[in-house]
Amino acid sequence: MDRTLRFCIASTFYPPWNFGGDGIYAHRLANGLAKLGHRVTVVHSPTAYEMLARRTPTEGYSDHPNVTVHGVRTPLRSLGLLAVQQLGRPCFQGPALRRVLHHGDYDVIHYNNVSLLGGPHAFRLGRALKLCTLIEHWLVCPMHVLWRMNREVCTRRTCLRCQLQGKRPPQWWRYTGLMRRATRHIDAFIGPSLFTMQAHRERGIEGTMIQLPLFHPEPSVRLDDAAAVNNNRPYFLFSGRLEKIKGVHTLIPLFRELADVDLLIAGGGTFESELRAMATGASNIRFVGRCPHQQLQSLYRHAIATLVPSLCYETFGVIVAESFSARTPVIVYAQSSLEEIVRLYGGGLAYRTESELRDAIHRLRTDPALRERLAAEGRAAYEAEFAAAPFLDHYLTVVRELLARKQAGRALCEGIPPSDPTFAGRPLLA
C-alpha cells in the first residue's frame, strides 16, 4: 500500500484570498490530496490579496481536516510587497516563510504562483522534492499573461515599456540572474499544456517539465437535468473574467446580428462596463454576473456551446474542462492551449476569423448530431483527463516516481523518452 505523503503547497493566492484560477487550483489540489489521506500544509499571502482587492474577503471557504492553512502576512503591507515584487525575494516575510517551508517536514513542496509570496527566491527554501506549476506566465512575464502593451499577444520582448503602460513598477530582479539560479532548485515543472511548457522553454526556463492538465470537480448538477434555463430560448455561453484579454468584446457585434439566439455572459471584471455599453439595445445579450457554482453548472449544461474567445496565451483552458464536465461542446479561438485541447481531444470547434466563428455557431445550432458527437467527445476527455480522480492518480504516479528517483540519487528523467509510462504516460520535456 502506498504510504501517506506530506505536501506543502505554496501559493500567493488561496481562497477566499483569491482572484482567479491559480488559487482555485491550489485549493482543489490541496483538498483532493487531503481526501485521499495525505497531509497538506498550505502557505499563502493574505496581504497580497487585501492590497490588490482593497478589501478583506467576506465569502467563506472550507478545507478538509487534513489541510492546514498558514496565512503569512507581510510587514509594512504595500511597502513589504513592493520589496518582494522588486527584488524577487521574501524580504520582510522571509522569517515566517522559512518557518513553514524550510523547517517543515515534507515529502513534496509544490509551488504555485508565488510572485508576491516570496518570488523565485522562495524556490531555495525547503529540502523536499520541489515541483512548480506553470499556471501563469509569471516566471517569464512581469505582467503574468504574455499580453503586450494591453493589445496583443507577446511575440517580442518590450517588458519595460509594457510594465510602465500597465502601471506596474519595473521588476529589477528580472534583469539579474536570479531566475536562472532559483529555478535550478525546482526538480520538475508541471505544465498544464504542451504549449505552455514550450513557451516557458523558449523564454529561458530550463529543467524537467511534465505535462499534467488542471482539473475540475464533478458537476453537482445532473447531466440529465431538464430544468428550463433562459426561458427555453437557445443560447451560447461565455463564462470567465470580463477582461479585454478574454475576448468577450469580439462576440458582441456578431450576436447583435443573431437576434434569434442569445449570448449569456457569466462573470465580472474591470472590462464589464465597456462590454455592457457595447451591448446596449441588444436584447439577446444578457449579463448574468458572477454565478454560484450550481447555477453556473446549469448554464453550462443547457448551452448549445461554450464560447472561449481568449485573445491571450492561456496556460490551460479551465473553462473548456468545466464545459466538458457538463457535456457541452466548446468553440475556441484557435490559439495556445485552447486550440491544443480541441485538437487532441475533440469536443469542440476552433476558429480564427469572424466568418469561421459565425460558421461554427451556425453548425452547432443547426446540426444536433454534430453537437451530440462533440459533447460526447468532451465528456470522454473530462472523464479520462480533467476530472479529479484521473488527475490525482496521474499526479501521484508522477510524484512517487520522482520521489523514488530523487531519494535514490538518480537523475529525475535520465533515459526516459517523452510519454514513457514511467510518468503515467505524460508528455515530457527534459
With contact defined as beta carbons under 8 Å apart, do 204 and 375 qualify? Answer: no
With contact defined as beta carbons under 8 Å apart, do 196 and 415 qualify? Answer: no
With contact defined as beta carbons under 8 Å apart, do 128 and 108 qualify? Answer: yes
Beta strands in 134-245 (DSSP E): 147-148, 152-153, 188-191, 209-211, 235-239
DSSP 8-state code for residue 385: I
Helix, strand, coil shares of the chain, percent, nearest 5, are 40, 15, 45
With contact defined as beta carbons under 8 Å apart, do 188 and 402 qualify? Answer: yes
Grid cell listed for 155:
511575440
Q: Is the pLDDT of residue 1 over 60?
A: no
pLDDT at 155: 87
Question: In whole angstroms, what is the distance from residue 372 CA to residue 400 CA?
Answer: 39
Residue 221's pLDDT band, with cuts at 50, 70 and 90, is low
* Residue 405, φ and ψ in degrees, nearest 5: -70, -40
Residue range 33-45, pLDDT digits in tens? 999 999 999 999 9
Average of per-residue pLDDT across 99-105: 91
222-226, 238-242, 336-340, 390-394: segment of lowest average pLDDT: 222-226
pLDDT at 268: 93
Averaged pLDDT of the chain: 92
pTM: 0.92
pLDDT at 59: 82
DSSP symbols for 241-306:
---GGGTGGGTHHHHHT-TTSEEEEE---TTHHHHHHHTTT-TTEEEEES--HHHHHHHHHHSS-E
Q: Is the pLDDT of residue 369 over 80?
A: yes
Most distant CA pair in the chain: distance in Å? 67
b/e burial code for range 322-357 (CB count within 10 A of at least 16 → b):
bbbbbbbbbbbbebbbbbbbbeebbbbbbbeeeeeb
With contact defined as beta carbons under 8 Å apart, do 45 and 13 qualify? Answer: yes
pLDDT at 420: 56
Residue range 292-339, pLDDT digits in tens? 888 999 999 999 999 999 999 999 999 999 999 999 999 999 999 999
pLDDT at 421: 54
Question: In whole angstroms, what is the distance from residue 329 CA to residue 237 CA?
Answer: 11
Residue 227's pLDDT band, with cuts at 50, 70 and 90, is low
Domains of the chain plus CATH, in order, are 6-211 (3.40.50.2000), 230-386 (3.40.50.2000)
Helices (H) and strands (E) in the chain, counts: 15, 16
pLDDT at 223: 57
